[in-house]
Amino acid sequence: MPSPQLSVVVPTYKERGNVAELVRRLDLALSGIAWEVIFVDDNSPDGTAALAKEIAATDSRVRCLRRVGRRGLAGACIEGMSASAAPFVAVIDGDLQHDEKVLPAMLAKLQGGAADLVAGTRYVEGGSAASFSQGRGAISRLATRLTHRLVGTNLSDPMSGFFMLRRDRFDEIAPRLSPVGFKILLDIAATGGGKLRIAEQPYNFGERFDGESKFNAQIGVEFLGLLLAKATGDLVDPRFIFFALVGTIGLVVHLVALRLSLWLLPADLPDLFRTAQFIATFIAMTSNFLLNNELTYKDRRLKGWAMARGFVLFCLIGSVGVLTNIDLASWLYIDHSRWLLAGAAGAIMSALWNYAMSTLFVWRAR
Ligand code: GDD
Ligand code: MN
Protein backbone atom coordinates (compact mmCIF):
# COMPACT_ATOMS: atom_id res chain seq x y z
CA MET A 1 0.00 0.00 0.00
CA PRO A 2 1.38 3.47 -0.85
CA SER A 3 2.26 5.67 2.10
CA PRO A 4 -0.34 8.37 2.67
CA GLN A 5 -0.27 11.70 0.83
CA LEU A 6 -2.79 13.16 3.24
CA SER A 7 -3.31 12.67 6.97
CA VAL A 8 -6.75 13.69 8.17
CA VAL A 9 -6.57 14.55 11.87
CA VAL A 10 -9.85 14.24 13.80
CA PRO A 11 -9.94 15.51 17.38
CA THR A 12 -12.59 13.65 19.31
CA TYR A 13 -14.20 13.84 22.69
CA LYS A 14 -17.30 11.70 23.17
CA GLU A 15 -17.90 11.11 19.48
CA ARG A 16 -18.46 7.35 19.49
CA GLY A 17 -21.59 7.64 17.39
CA ASN A 18 -19.77 9.54 14.62
CA VAL A 19 -16.54 7.61 14.10
CA ALA A 20 -17.74 4.89 11.72
CA GLU A 21 -19.83 7.31 9.67
CA LEU A 22 -16.88 9.69 9.28
CA VAL A 23 -14.58 6.90 8.07
CA ARG A 24 -17.26 5.82 5.60
CA ARG A 25 -17.63 9.37 4.24
CA LEU A 26 -13.86 9.95 4.04
CA ASP A 27 -13.58 6.74 2.05
CA LEU A 28 -16.15 8.05 -0.44
CA ALA A 29 -14.75 11.58 -0.63
CA LEU A 30 -11.07 10.65 -0.94
CA SER A 31 -11.16 7.85 -3.51
CA GLY A 32 -8.05 7.97 -5.68
CA ILE A 33 -6.02 9.69 -2.94
CA ALA A 34 -3.67 7.84 -0.57
CA TRP A 35 -5.04 8.98 2.77
CA GLU A 36 -5.09 8.04 6.43
CA VAL A 37 -7.20 9.29 9.32
CA ILE A 38 -5.76 9.93 12.79
CA PHE A 39 -8.33 10.13 15.55
CA VAL A 40 -6.96 11.96 18.58
CA ASP A 41 -9.18 11.06 21.47
CA ASP A 42 -8.85 12.44 24.99
CA ASN A 43 -9.81 9.18 26.65
CA SER A 44 -13.54 9.78 26.12
CA PRO A 45 -15.67 7.91 28.66
CA ASP A 46 -17.96 6.69 25.87
CA GLY A 47 -15.19 4.52 24.40
CA THR A 48 -14.57 6.54 21.23
CA ALA A 49 -10.92 5.43 21.15
CA ALA A 50 -11.76 1.76 21.56
CA LEU A 51 -14.17 1.92 18.64
CA ALA A 52 -11.66 3.78 16.44
CA LYS A 53 -9.06 1.11 17.22
CA GLU A 54 -11.54 -1.63 16.45
CA ILE A 55 -11.99 -0.12 12.98
CA ALA A 56 -8.22 0.37 12.71
CA ALA A 57 -7.71 -3.35 13.32
CA THR A 58 -9.21 -4.15 9.90
CA ASP A 59 -8.47 -0.89 8.03
CA SER A 60 -4.83 0.22 8.03
CA ARG A 61 -5.80 3.74 6.88
CA VAL A 62 -7.32 4.31 10.31
CA ARG A 63 -5.16 5.22 13.29
CA CYS A 64 -5.99 6.39 16.78
CA LEU A 65 -3.99 8.30 19.34
CA ARG A 66 -5.52 7.98 22.77
CA ARG A 67 -4.35 10.75 25.09
CA VAL A 68 -4.63 10.21 28.82
CA GLY A 69 -4.57 12.89 31.50
CA ARG A 70 -4.99 15.69 28.95
CA ARG A 71 -7.94 17.62 27.55
CA GLY A 72 -8.26 20.22 24.86
CA LEU A 73 -9.09 20.59 21.20
CA ALA A 74 -6.06 22.62 20.08
CA GLY A 75 -3.61 20.34 21.88
CA ALA A 76 -5.24 17.27 20.34
CA CYS A 77 -4.91 18.77 16.84
CA ILE A 78 -1.23 19.62 17.43
CA GLU A 79 -0.43 16.09 18.57
CA GLY A 80 -2.36 14.51 15.71
CA MET A 81 -0.59 16.62 13.09
CA SER A 82 2.72 15.88 14.80
CA ALA A 83 2.05 12.16 14.33
CA SER A 84 1.74 12.55 10.56
CA ALA A 85 4.53 11.69 8.11
CA ALA A 86 2.47 12.62 5.02
CA PRO A 87 3.28 15.75 2.99
CA PHE A 88 -0.18 17.21 3.72
CA VAL A 89 -2.30 17.27 6.87
CA ALA A 90 -5.92 18.28 7.38
CA VAL A 91 -7.95 18.86 10.53
CA ILE A 92 -11.68 18.18 10.53
CA ASP A 93 -14.26 17.91 13.31
CA GLY A 94 -15.44 14.44 14.25
CA ASP A 95 -19.14 15.30 14.29
CA LEU A 96 -19.54 15.67 10.50
CA GLN A 97 -20.36 19.39 10.68
CA HIS A 98 -17.46 20.06 8.32
CA ASP A 99 -17.96 19.04 4.70
CA GLU A 100 -15.43 16.32 3.88
CA LYS A 101 -16.39 16.51 0.19
CA VAL A 102 -14.25 19.64 -0.26
CA LEU A 103 -11.06 17.90 0.95
CA PRO A 104 -9.88 16.96 -2.59
CA ALA A 105 -10.28 20.59 -3.71
CA MET A 106 -8.24 21.75 -0.70
CA LEU A 107 -5.53 19.20 -1.48
CA ALA A 108 -5.40 20.32 -5.13
CA LYS A 109 -4.79 23.91 -4.03
CA LEU A 110 -1.81 22.84 -1.91
CA GLN A 111 -0.40 20.49 -4.54
CA GLY A 112 -0.55 23.32 -7.07
CA GLY A 113 2.04 25.04 -4.87
CA ALA A 114 0.25 28.40 -4.70
CA ALA A 115 -0.57 28.10 -0.99
CA ASP A 116 0.85 26.62 2.22
CA LEU A 117 -2.47 26.53 4.06
CA VAL A 118 -6.06 26.19 2.87
CA ALA A 119 -8.61 27.41 5.39
CA GLY A 120 -12.18 26.22 5.22
CA THR A 121 -14.56 29.18 5.40
CA ARG A 122 -18.26 29.65 5.93
CA TYR A 123 -18.16 33.38 5.29
CA VAL A 124 -17.43 33.77 1.60
CA GLU A 125 -19.50 33.06 -1.51
CA GLY A 126 -20.21 29.33 -1.67
CA GLY A 127 -19.98 28.75 2.08
CA SER A 128 -22.62 28.97 4.79
CA ALA A 129 -23.26 28.57 8.50
CA ALA A 130 -27.02 28.20 8.33
CA SER A 131 -27.04 25.36 10.86
CA PHE A 132 -25.71 27.62 13.64
CA SER A 133 -28.24 28.50 16.33
CA GLN A 134 -28.92 32.24 16.52
CA GLY A 135 -26.85 32.61 19.68
CA ARG A 136 -23.84 30.64 18.44
CA GLY A 137 -23.97 32.47 15.11
CA ALA A 138 -23.84 35.83 16.88
CA ILE A 139 -20.92 34.72 19.10
CA SER A 140 -19.05 33.45 16.06
CA ARG A 141 -19.54 36.70 14.13
CA LEU A 142 -18.57 38.83 17.13
CA ALA A 143 -15.42 36.75 17.69
CA THR A 144 -14.59 37.10 14.00
CA ARG A 145 -14.84 40.91 14.15
CA LEU A 146 -12.79 41.05 17.36
CA THR A 147 -10.15 38.87 15.77
CA HIS A 148 -9.89 41.04 12.68
CA ARG A 149 -9.46 44.04 14.89
CA LEU A 150 -6.87 42.63 17.30
CA VAL A 151 -4.90 40.16 15.21
CA GLY A 152 -3.61 40.95 11.75
CA THR A 153 -5.21 38.09 9.86
CA ASN A 154 -6.88 37.97 6.49
CA LEU A 155 -8.81 34.80 7.23
CA SER A 156 -12.47 35.40 6.47
CA ASP A 157 -13.44 32.71 9.02
CA PRO A 158 -10.70 32.58 11.68
CA MET A 159 -13.02 30.56 13.95
CA SER A 160 -13.16 27.65 11.54
CA GLY A 161 -11.69 24.39 12.82
CA PHE A 162 -11.45 22.99 9.28
CA PHE A 163 -8.22 23.39 7.28
CA MET A 164 -5.35 21.68 5.48
CA LEU A 165 -1.68 22.57 5.29
CA ARG A 166 1.75 21.40 4.19
CA ARG A 167 3.27 19.29 6.90
CA ASP A 168 6.72 20.88 6.57
CA ARG A 169 5.19 24.28 7.38
CA PHE A 170 3.35 22.82 10.33
CA ASP A 171 6.53 21.22 11.67
CA GLU A 172 8.27 24.61 11.55
CA ILE A 173 5.71 26.47 13.61
CA ALA A 174 4.46 23.64 15.86
CA PRO A 175 6.76 24.49 18.81
CA ARG A 176 5.24 27.99 19.02
CA LEU A 177 1.58 26.90 19.04
CA SER A 178 -0.58 27.00 22.14
CA PRO A 179 -2.32 23.77 23.18
CA VAL A 180 -4.95 25.82 25.03
CA GLY A 181 -8.38 26.54 23.60
CA PHE A 182 -10.38 25.78 20.47
CA LYS A 183 -8.91 28.11 17.85
CA ILE A 184 -6.06 26.16 16.35
CA LEU A 185 -6.46 27.59 12.82
CA LEU A 186 -6.17 31.17 14.02
CA ASP A 187 -3.13 30.27 16.09
CA ILE A 188 -1.41 28.62 13.11
CA ALA A 189 -2.18 31.56 10.81
CA ALA A 190 -1.09 34.18 13.35
CA THR A 191 2.05 32.28 14.35
CA GLY A 192 3.01 31.51 10.75
CA GLY A 193 2.65 35.21 9.95
CA GLY A 194 3.31 36.69 6.51
CA LYS A 195 5.47 33.75 5.45
CA LEU A 196 2.47 31.42 5.38
CA ARG A 197 0.58 31.76 2.09
CA ILE A 198 -3.11 31.21 2.74
CA ALA A 199 -5.91 30.18 0.38
CA GLU A 200 -9.54 29.64 1.32
CA GLN A 201 -12.09 26.98 0.58
CA PRO A 202 -15.80 27.70 1.09
CA TYR A 203 -17.92 24.98 2.68
CA ASN A 204 -21.35 24.54 4.21
CA PHE A 205 -21.31 24.07 7.97
CA GLY A 206 -23.79 21.27 8.58
CA GLU A 207 -25.69 19.79 11.50
CA ARG A 208 -23.99 17.59 14.05
CA PHE A 209 -24.55 13.90 13.15
CA ASP A 210 -24.63 12.49 16.71
CA GLY A 211 -23.77 13.62 20.27
CA GLU A 212 -23.37 17.14 21.67
CA SER A 213 -21.16 20.21 21.25
CA LYS A 214 -18.36 20.76 23.77
CA PHE A 215 -18.33 24.53 23.33
CA ASN A 216 -18.83 26.49 26.58
CA ALA A 217 -18.12 29.79 28.33
CA GLN A 218 -14.68 28.69 29.49
CA ILE A 219 -13.68 28.06 25.89
CA GLY A 220 -14.87 31.59 25.08
CA VAL A 221 -12.56 33.05 27.75
CA GLU A 222 -9.69 30.89 26.52
CA PHE A 223 -10.24 32.40 23.12
CA LEU A 224 -9.93 35.93 24.54
CA GLY A 225 -6.66 34.79 26.11
CA LEU A 226 -5.35 33.64 22.74
CA LEU A 227 -6.35 36.96 21.13
CA LEU A 228 -4.55 38.83 23.88
CA ALA A 229 -1.43 36.71 23.43
CA LYS A 230 -1.40 37.25 19.67
CA ALA A 231 -2.20 40.97 19.94
CA THR A 232 0.84 41.46 22.21
CA GLY A 233 3.19 39.40 20.07
CA ASP A 234 3.14 36.50 22.56
CA LEU A 235 4.32 38.76 25.36
CA VAL A 236 1.28 37.87 27.48
CA ASP A 237 0.64 34.19 28.19
CA PRO A 238 -2.89 33.08 27.12
CA ARG A 239 -3.25 31.84 30.68
CA PHE A 240 -3.02 35.40 31.89
CA ILE A 241 -6.65 36.14 31.00
CA PHE A 242 -7.68 33.62 33.66
CA PHE A 243 -5.31 35.20 36.19
CA ALA A 244 -7.04 38.48 35.56
CA LEU A 245 -10.50 36.96 35.78
CA VAL A 246 -9.80 34.98 38.96
CA GLY A 247 -8.07 38.04 40.42
CA THR A 248 -11.11 40.20 39.76
CA ILE A 249 -13.44 37.64 41.30
CA GLY A 250 -11.01 37.34 44.24
CA LEU A 251 -11.14 41.08 44.72
CA VAL A 252 -14.93 41.06 44.89
CA VAL A 253 -14.86 38.10 47.29
CA HIS A 254 -12.30 39.95 49.38
CA LEU A 255 -14.33 43.15 49.60
CA VAL A 256 -17.57 41.35 50.39
CA ALA A 257 -15.83 39.31 53.11
CA LEU A 258 -14.23 42.46 54.49
CA ARG A 259 -17.54 44.30 54.64
CA LEU A 260 -19.25 41.33 56.32
CA SER A 261 -16.42 40.95 58.84
CA LEU A 262 -16.56 44.61 59.74
CA TRP A 263 -20.28 44.22 60.41
CA LEU A 264 -20.12 40.92 62.25
CA LEU A 265 -17.07 41.39 64.46
CA PRO A 266 -17.63 43.17 67.79
CA ALA A 267 -17.26 46.88 67.16
CA ASP A 268 -15.03 47.35 70.21
CA LEU A 269 -12.45 44.78 69.06
CA PRO A 270 -9.10 46.51 69.53
CA ASP A 271 -7.73 45.55 66.12
CA LEU A 272 -11.01 45.49 64.26
CA PHE A 273 -9.84 46.41 60.79
CA ARG A 274 -6.68 44.28 60.91
CA THR A 275 -8.70 41.23 61.95
CA ALA A 276 -11.37 41.82 59.32
CA GLN A 277 -8.77 42.29 56.62
CA PHE A 278 -7.04 39.10 57.73
CA ILE A 279 -10.26 37.08 57.52
CA ALA A 280 -11.14 38.57 54.13
CA THR A 281 -7.68 37.79 52.79
CA PHE A 282 -7.90 34.17 53.89
CA ILE A 283 -11.31 33.70 52.29
CA ALA A 284 -10.20 35.35 49.05
CA MET A 285 -7.03 33.25 49.04
CA THR A 286 -9.02 30.04 49.36
CA SER A 287 -11.37 31.04 46.59
CA ASN A 288 -8.46 32.11 44.38
CA PHE A 289 -6.73 28.79 44.97
CA LEU A 290 -9.80 26.76 44.04
CA LEU A 291 -10.64 28.85 40.95
CA ASN A 292 -7.06 28.86 39.71
CA ASN A 293 -6.91 25.11 40.16
CA GLU A 294 -10.13 24.72 38.15
CA LEU A 295 -9.51 27.27 35.41
CA THR A 296 -6.10 28.89 35.14
CA TYR A 297 -4.06 25.76 35.67
CA LYS A 298 -6.62 23.21 34.62
CA ASP A 299 -3.96 21.46 32.54
CA ARG A 300 -1.85 21.06 35.68
CA ARG A 301 -4.75 20.60 38.09
CA LEU A 302 -3.77 19.42 41.56
CA LYS A 303 -5.78 16.63 43.15
CA GLY A 304 -5.90 14.83 46.51
CA TRP A 305 -2.74 15.20 48.56
CA ALA A 306 -0.99 17.27 45.91
CA MET A 307 -3.89 19.69 46.16
CA ALA A 308 -3.63 19.89 49.95
CA ARG A 309 0.12 20.45 49.69
CA GLY A 310 -0.41 23.02 46.93
CA PHE A 311 -2.90 24.89 49.08
CA VAL A 312 -0.49 25.04 52.02
CA LEU A 313 2.26 26.30 49.71
CA PHE A 314 -0.14 28.78 48.14
CA CYS A 315 -1.02 30.09 51.61
CA LEU A 316 2.63 30.31 52.65
CA ILE A 317 3.45 32.27 49.51
CA GLY A 318 0.31 34.28 50.14
CA SER A 319 1.18 35.03 53.75
CA VAL A 320 4.25 36.96 52.66
CA GLY A 321 1.91 38.98 50.46
CA VAL A 322 -0.60 39.16 53.30
CA LEU A 323 1.86 40.86 55.64
CA THR A 324 2.47 43.67 53.17
CA ASN A 325 -1.21 43.64 52.28
CA ILE A 326 -2.37 44.09 55.88
CA ASP A 327 0.25 46.70 56.64
CA LEU A 328 -0.45 48.68 53.51
CA ALA A 329 -4.21 48.46 53.94
CA SER A 330 -4.17 49.27 57.67
CA TRP A 331 -1.93 52.23 57.06
CA LEU A 332 -4.24 53.53 54.33
CA TYR A 333 -7.28 52.88 56.52
CA ILE A 334 -5.87 54.63 59.59
CA ASP A 335 -4.64 57.62 57.64
CA HIS A 336 -7.63 58.02 55.36
CA SER A 337 -10.45 55.86 56.82
CA ARG A 338 -11.42 54.59 53.39
CA TRP A 339 -12.17 50.90 53.84
CA LEU A 340 -12.81 50.31 50.13
CA LEU A 341 -9.63 51.91 48.83
CA ALA A 342 -7.56 50.43 51.62
CA GLY A 343 -8.91 46.91 51.14
CA ALA A 344 -8.53 47.03 47.36
CA ALA A 345 -4.97 48.33 47.38
CA GLY A 346 -3.87 45.64 49.81
CA ALA A 347 -5.59 42.89 47.84
CA ILE A 348 -4.09 43.95 44.49
CA MET A 349 -0.60 43.93 46.00
CA SER A 350 -0.88 40.40 47.29
CA ALA A 351 -2.66 39.16 44.16
CA LEU A 352 0.24 40.18 41.92
CA TRP A 353 2.69 38.48 44.22
CA ASN A 354 0.57 35.34 44.47
CA TYR A 355 0.24 34.96 40.71
CA ALA A 356 3.93 35.28 40.02
CA MET A 357 4.91 32.87 42.78
CA SER A 358 2.21 30.28 42.16
CA THR A 359 3.15 29.93 38.49
CA LEU A 360 6.73 29.34 39.61
CA PHE A 361 6.11 27.05 42.57
CA VAL A 362 2.56 25.79 43.12
CA TRP A 363 1.47 24.80 39.61
CA ARG A 364 4.88 24.55 38.01
CA ALA A 365 5.11 22.86 34.60
CA ARG A 366 5.88 19.18 34.92
N1 GDD B 1 -9.49 15.45 21.61
C2 GDD B 1 -10.39 16.39 21.92
N3 GDD B 1 -10.31 17.01 23.15
N4 GDD B 1 -11.35 16.75 21.04
C5 GDD B 1 -12.23 17.69 21.39
C6 GDD B 1 -12.20 18.35 22.64
C7 GDD B 1 -11.18 17.97 23.56
O8 GDD B 1 -11.07 18.49 24.67
N9 GDD B 1 -13.23 19.26 22.67
C10 GDD B 1 -13.86 19.14 21.48
N11 GDD B 1 -13.27 18.19 20.72
C12 GDD B 1 -13.64 17.76 19.37
C13 GDD B 1 -15.07 17.30 19.25
O14 GDD B 1 -15.21 15.95 19.60
C15 GDD B 1 -15.35 17.56 17.80
O16 GDD B 1 -14.89 16.52 16.98
C17 GDD B 1 -14.53 18.82 17.51
O18 GDD B 1 -13.53 18.87 18.51
C19 GDD B 1 -15.38 20.10 17.56
O20 GDD B 1 -16.04 20.18 18.81
P21 GDD B 1 -17.60 20.53 18.93
O22 GDD B 1 -17.97 20.28 20.33
O23 GDD B 1 -18.38 19.86 17.86
O24 GDD B 1 -17.51 22.09 18.71
P25 GDD B 1 -18.51 23.06 17.98
O26 GDD B 1 -19.22 22.41 16.85
O27 GDD B 1 -19.35 23.74 18.99
O28 GDD B 1 -17.44 24.10 17.40
C29 GDD B 1 -17.02 23.95 16.09
O30 GDD B 1 -17.38 25.05 15.40
C31 GDD B 1 -16.65 26.21 15.68
C32 GDD B 1 -17.12 27.25 14.75
O33 GDD B 1 -17.29 28.46 15.35
C34 GDD B 1 -15.52 23.66 15.99
O35 GDD B 1 -15.22 23.31 14.65
C36 GDD B 1 -14.69 24.83 16.30
O37 GDD B 1 -13.33 24.54 16.00
C38 GDD B 1 -15.16 25.95 15.46
O39 GDD B 1 -14.43 27.08 15.77
MN1 MN C 1 -19.46 20.53 16.26
Give tens-digit pLDDT for 321-343.
777 777 777 877 877 677 888 87
- CA 200 → CA 38, 123, 299, 343, distances in Å? 23, 10, 33, 53
**Quick one: CA torsion of 350, 297, 247, 271, rounded to 10 degrees?**
-40
pLDDT score of 319: 80
Determine the topology of domain 6-213 in CATH: Spore Coat Polysaccharide Biosynthesis Protein SpsA; Chain A (3.90.550)
- For residue 220, report the distance from its CA to the centre of ligand 2, in Å: 15
Q: Choose from 124-128, 166-170, 227-231 the range with maximum mean pLDDT.
A: 166-170
pLDDT score of 108: 97
Q: Which residues does ligand 1 sit against, CB inside 6 Å?
A: 11-13, 15, 40-42, 71-73, 76, 93-95, 97, 140, 159-161, 182, 213-215
pLDDT score of 180: 76
pLDDT, tens digit, for every residue of 11-23?
A: 999 999 999 999 9
Phi, psi (deg, nearest 5) at residue 164: -140, 145
- CA 60 → CA 32, 43, 157, 177, 294, distances in Å? 16, 21, 34, 30, 39
Contact between residue 15 and residue 211 where contact means Cβ atoms under 8 Å apart = yes
Region 200-222: what's the mean pLDDT? 91
pLDDT at 122 over 70: yes
- For residue 124, report the distance from its CA to the centre of ligand 2, in Å: 20
Phi-psi map region of 29: left, alpha, beta (phi>0 left; psi -120 to 50 alpha)? alpha
pLDDT score of 325: 73
Alpha carbon nearest to ligand 1 atom 26, residue: 213
Alpha carbon nearest to ligand 1 atom 29, residue: 161
- CA 59 → CA 24, 77, 302, distances in Å? 11, 22, 39
Write down how long the chain is: 366
The closest of 40, 43, 39 to 21, measured between CA atoms, is 39
Phi, psi (deg, nearest 5) at residue 264: -80, -30
DSSP state, 4? P
Residue 138: pLDDT band (50, 70, 90) is: confident
Q: How many Å apart are CA 100 and CA 26, to the nearest integer?
A: 7
Nearest ligand 1 atom to the CA of 95 is 16
Listed range (36-45, 99-108, 149-158, 184-193) with the worst mean pLDDT: 149-158
Region 246-253: what's the mean pLDDT? 89
Under 8 Å CB-to-CB from 7, ≥6 apart: which residues?
A: 35, 36, 37, 38, 80, 81, 83, 84, 85, 86, 88, 89, 90, 167
Nearest ligand 1 atom to the CA of 71 is 8
pLDDT score of 326: 75
Is residue 307 helix, strand or coil? helix
Q: pTM of this prediction? A: 0.78
Sequence ranges of the domains in the chain: 6-213, 238-362
